[in-house]
Amino acid sequence: MPDRILQAISRQTIDHRGPDFAEVGRTALEGMKRIFKTESSVIIYPSSGTGAWEAALVNTLSPGDKVLMYETGHFAATWSSLAKKIGLDAEVIGGDWRAGADPDLICERLKQDSGHEIRAVCVVHNETSTGSVSPIAEIRKAIDEANHPALFLVDTISGLASIDLCFDAWGIDVCIAGSQKGLMLPPGLSFNAISEKALAAHKSASLQRSYWDWSDMLGPNSKGFFPYTPATNLLYGLNEAIEMLEEEGLDNVFARHARHGAATRSAVKTWGLDVLCARQGQESGVLTAVVMPDGHSADAFRNTALQSFDISLGNGLSKVADRVFRIGHLGDFNDLMLSATLAGVEMSLARAGVPHNEGGVQTAMNQLK
Ligand SMILES: *Cc1c(COP(=O)(O)O)cnc(C)c1O
């Protein structure tokens, strides 16, 4: 986390019902609209991203409603189990975890649904378990091509502020985000951006909700306040993060992430290892998941890296546990940090006896310099 954010968070906690708070609340709520690129409302919860997943569903849907979900990886699979647990009929399009969601398959399924039983299409923007990005604007087009009225719900928990996302222009109805990824904050805040169409669906949606209710939030939010205690210090940090992102310029932030993703993939290629995302053009600028050669444990390798160089690599989740490791290159990250990270991976490959070619770091440096 950037020092600026840590310092902002360390400020004194103020009375969240007092007059000084309104400015903090308003600045955060207005600022997040610019980050989501929306004119409509953003809700901020004191919760992890999982809470905002649940909030998106309980505010727009009713018991037994059918939702179409796409299994791009572990996070998409977890969101669909959440949907089932809260009483939705989640239909899942299976994926091989090596690409983003396929707009054609979504279009085809929606065209079959002539009775419009499907109430929402749910897609993960940046699948953090695999490093694949789903083509959100194209999926919007696919829903329109099928002439289907379903809501479009997008989890951009690890995409927001790292990969471009245009809530209004791409016709998204609800976006879910969290504080601890591209926003460079500690965990503890989550977000729903909501369209007019989602707000209309909210009026008749009858899934049980209390803590997550958008209606309870929107009233006080209009004056910069919250119906219950907000995570005040994280809001200080959020306002600082928004300022930093806007100083750099969102387009520059996106370009930096894309460039670091490309340099990382060129290092992986030089090592002779495979990137898990196999679909060209859908590789993530947020993280790169690397497939271990057969017969080698990704977790043993990660442990070697941690013990030897104090570098923490992401683990493979559920289906790809022990098969992949993940290199994060998101948030407050620069060329030197990436070079050092890749050097740590390359030295660890050698220490752990994982077959590879040398020179990955040099290839990345040639791209960065
Ligand atoms: C991190 C993440 C989540 C889970 O968020 P929590 O804050 O751990 O609840 C969900 N989806 C994606 C894509 C994520 O990256």
**Residue with the nearest Cα to atom 10 of ligand 1?**
75
pLDDT per residue over 142-170, tens digit each?
A: 999 999 999 999 999 999 999 999 999 99
Ligand 1 centroid to Cα of residue 355, in Å, is: 32
Per-residue pLDDT, 315: 98
**Average pLDDT of every residue of the chain:** 98
| Domain boundaries 250-368, corresponding CATH code | 3.90.1150.10
362: confidence class by pLDDT, cuts 50, 70, 90 = very high
Query: Is beta strand 174-178 parallel, antiparallel or unpaired with respect to 66-71?
Result: unpaired
pLDDT per residue over 89-113, tens digit each?
A: 999 999 999 999 999 999 999 999 9
CA distance 261 to 340: 15
pLDDT per residue over 297-322, tens digit each?
A: 999 999 999 999 999 999 999 999 99
**Residue with the nearest Cα to atom 5 of ligand 1?**
49
Same fold, 3-247 and 250-368: no
Ligand 1 centroid to Cα of residue 50, in Å, is: 6
| 8 Å CB contact between 58 and 212 | yes
Of 153, 130, 1, 145, residue with least CA distance to 68: 153
pLDDT per residue over 350-359, tens digit each?
A: 999 999 999 9
224: confidence class by pLDDT, cuts 50, 70, 90 = very high
200: confidence class by pLDDT, cuts 50, 70, 90 = very high
| 8 Å CB contact between 43 and 55 | yes
pLDDT per residue over 12-59, tens digit each?
A: 999 999 999 999 999 999 999 999 999 999 999 999 999 999 999 999
Ligand 1 centroid to Cα of residue 16, in Å, is: 27
Per-residue pLDDT, 245: 98
Residue 124 Cα: closest atom of ligand 1? 13
3-247 fold: Aspartate Aminotransferase; domain 2 (3.40.640)
pLDDT, mean of residues 251-267: 98
Of 120, 117, 106, residue with least CA distance to 53: 120
CA distance 48 to 54: 11
CA distance 252 to 257: 9
pTM score:
0.98
pLDDT per residue over 125-148, tens digit each?
A: 999 999 999 999 999 999 999 999
**Residue with the nearest Cα to atom 2 of ligand 1?**
157
Give me 258's structure tokens. Answer: 């894309």
209: confidence class by pLDDT, cuts 50, 70, 90 = very high
The full set of domain ranges for the chain reads 3-247, 250-368
Per-residue pLDDT, 114: 97
Ligand 1 centroid to Cα of residue 129, in Å, is: 10
